[in-house]
Structure 1
Amino acid sequence: MTTQALTPPRRRSRAGARRILASVVAILFALVWLFPAYWMLNSSLLTDEELTSRVPVWFPARATLAHYASILGSADFWSAMRMSAAIAAIVVVGSIALGFFAALAISRFRFRSRMSLIIGILIIQMIPAETVFVSQYRMLDTWDLLNSVAGASLIYLGTNVPFTVWLLKGFVDGVPVELEEAALLDGCSRMGAFFRVTLPLIGSGLVASSIFAFLASWNEYTLALVSLTSSGSQTLPLWITSFSGMNQNTDWGGIMAGSTLMALPVVILFVLVQRNMVAGLTAGAVK
């Protein structure tokens, strides 16, 4: 009698202890992940003397905005910002438009060479980007697209569209085909059923694909290094390298401040769309 009465509280206490332990471990992992971002922000607010000191400064007691003022007053920074924003916008819109229709075709239709197309998409994703640098450079040079938004966007689309197609295919497969058939019975055309039924239900997939496409183009360095060789047509990752020098000549304050400003749009974007990045919006749709 006594043992049976004491068992539930003991189990609850053990379960509570496990939850507390799991929470502590999760907080420790989160601190490890957040430390590089904190160190970047902290270093961007330090003076040059503190940055070059042998003793690390963990908190900016004498915080300065001199590095940010220098960057925001630079015409090269705003030129690189416009270049990155234009390329990212084209890549996001192009990847979603091409990837959505390709995912619909692969998921909903059975056509000749369908499996070959799927295998081809997988193979393209497995090809290292470095192996096609020479051919990409020669292609852009032949088409007179070097050092241009169109040329860089074309290369980025070639690397992002296959991944977007594969990602959106999974979301389209999750939409019950019975919903589209019901829309067809109600008088919708095939295209109307896609846009009125399927498109709203894969909103989370479109948001996730857009985020991946944006990050891939916003942070990309190696492809930009190949296609944007002029100093006047650089993206933000290329522009940040201008602060690097030999040993003591490196402007670490400028690098950290520039990296913080570069990461700011990504953080804002995640804050705005985090609620939409949830899969499974179609759960219970048939019911």
Structure 2
Amino acid sequence: MTKKVTANVVGVVLAVFFAFPVYWMLSSAFKPTKDLVSSDYDLVPLSVTATNFATAWNKPGFLGAMGNSLFVTLGAVLASIVVGLLAAVAMSRMRFKGRKQFVLLMLVAQMAPFEALLIPMFLMMRDLELLDRLPSLILIYFAVTLPFCAWTLRGFVNGIPLELEEAAMVDGCGRWGAFRRVTLPLLGPGLVATSVFAFVTAWNEFLYALSLIKDQSKETLPVWLSGFQTAFGTDWGGAMAASALFTLPVLVFFLIVQRKMVTGVTAGAVKG
């Protein structure tokens, strides 16, 4: 009983610890400017206003930056999930010379600091004449998220018995049909986990979007968000409101794929 209570208390403390920055962002987004610059730290806003959200929404370039971020992020997520799934199946189901070394190489590729690759990536995009173009960000985010997606999905594929596919093939399915009807639905949790990681990574990326894109009409939301800081100061209310709007697509994406995960698990349990 004591262990259970202790675990619950620790869980609540950690939940509050991680949720507090989100709460502070939302509460600051609804605070008037005079309360934001005050030295008092009010956990509950004394007065509430929607002016900051109007400022963020009406700031030039918001909808364009939102569209650019969605285009780049969804393109990178789709490419990394498809290619990562194919690579995971190959690493899990096939036996070829150098397979262990290739799997280790996928792990090593994740250890390279993202920032350390900026200069070679910049030179590569310059040689490909992709500077100041959104496809350059898709390629970079795809390259960054692919190793993690392939490595994670490989673990999920390993967890699905090969006998299930073989049983489906005995019942008349081809190799592709057995994979599509049996294995793929059971990979729902893995696809959700990797897609959420890839989406958050691409959605929040700032350095490459700032370095490779100079045209303001093509900037992404993280770069647009930095516009609230100027030489005359920082509009904290607008920045907090814009940050709250910035998190909405991630929340919507997670809710969508979470529902697909549940249906995928139940579908995989009865097919084949």
Q: Structure 2 length normalisation: TM-score? A: 0.91
Does 2:161 match 1:179?
no
Whole-Å separation in 2 of the counterparts to 1:176 and 1:227: 44
Deviation of residue 210 (structure 1)?
1.0
Q: Residue 266 of structure 1 aligns with which residue?
A: 250
Deviation of residue 208 (structure 1)?
1.2
Paired residues of 2:186 and 2:269 also in contact (CA < 8 A): no
Q: Residue 113 of structure 2 aligns with which residue?
A: 128
Q: Residue 52 of structure 1 aligns with which residue?
A: 37
Whole-Å separation in 2 of the counterparts to 1:210 and 1:229: 28
Letter in 2 for 1:252: W
Does 2:101 match 1:142?
no
Q: Residue 119 of structure 1 aligns with which residue?
A: 104
How many residues get paired? 268
Equivalent residue runs for 1:11-160 within 5 Å: 15=1, 18-160=3-145
Deviation of residue 245 (structure 1)?
3.0
Whole-Å separation in 2 of the counterparts to 1:106 and 1:197: 18
Does 2:234 match 1:250?
yes
SS in structure 1 at match of 2:172 = coil
Whole-Å separation in 2 of the counterparts to 1:251 and 1:75: 15
Whole-Å separation in 2 of the counterparts to 1:149 and 1:115: 35
Whole-Å separation in 2 of the counterparts to 1:107 and 1:223: 33
Equivalent residue runs for 1:197-276 within 5 Å: 197-246=182-231, 249-274=233-258
SS in structure 1 at match of 2:216 = coil
Whole-Å separation in 2 of the counterparts to 1:116 and 1:28: 42
SS in structure 2 at match of 1:232 = helix
Deviation of residue 50 (structure 1)?
1.0
Paired residues of 2:160 and 2:183 also in contact (CA < 8 A): yes
Letter in 1 for 2:196: I
Whole-Å separation in 1 of the counterparts to 2:8 and 2:116: 44
Paired residues of 1:208 and 1:277 also in contact (CA < 8 A): no
SS in structure 1 at match of 2:38 = coil
Instruction: State the Cα deviation string for residues 192-231 of structure 1 (Å, max 9, x = none).
Output: 2211111011111111111111111111112222222332
Q: Which runs of 5+ in 2 are unaligned?
A: none
Identity, in percent, stands at 41
Letter in 1 for 2:161: P
Whole-Å separation in 1 of the counterparts to 2:150 and 2:201: 15
Letter in 2 for 1:184: M
Whole-Å separation in 1 of the counterparts to 2:147 and 2:221: 25
Whole-Å separation in 2 of the counterparts to 1:204 and 1:143: 37
Letter in 1 for 2:164: L
Letter in 2 for 1:203: G
Paired residues of 1:41 and 1:260 also in contact (CA < 8 A): yes
Letter in 1 for 2:251: V
Q: Structure 1 length normalisation: TM-score? A: 0.86
Whole-Å separation in 2 of the counterparts to 1:229 and 1:116: 40
Equivalent residue runs for 1:153-168 within 5 Å: 153-168=138-153
Deviation of residue 276 (structure 1)?
5.8
Instruction: State the Cα deviation string for residues 8-46 of structure 1 (Å, max 9, x = none).
Output: xxxxxxx2x553443333222222211111110011111
CA RMSD of aligned residues (A): 2.3
Paired residues of 1:68 and 1:258 also in contact (CA < 8 A): yes
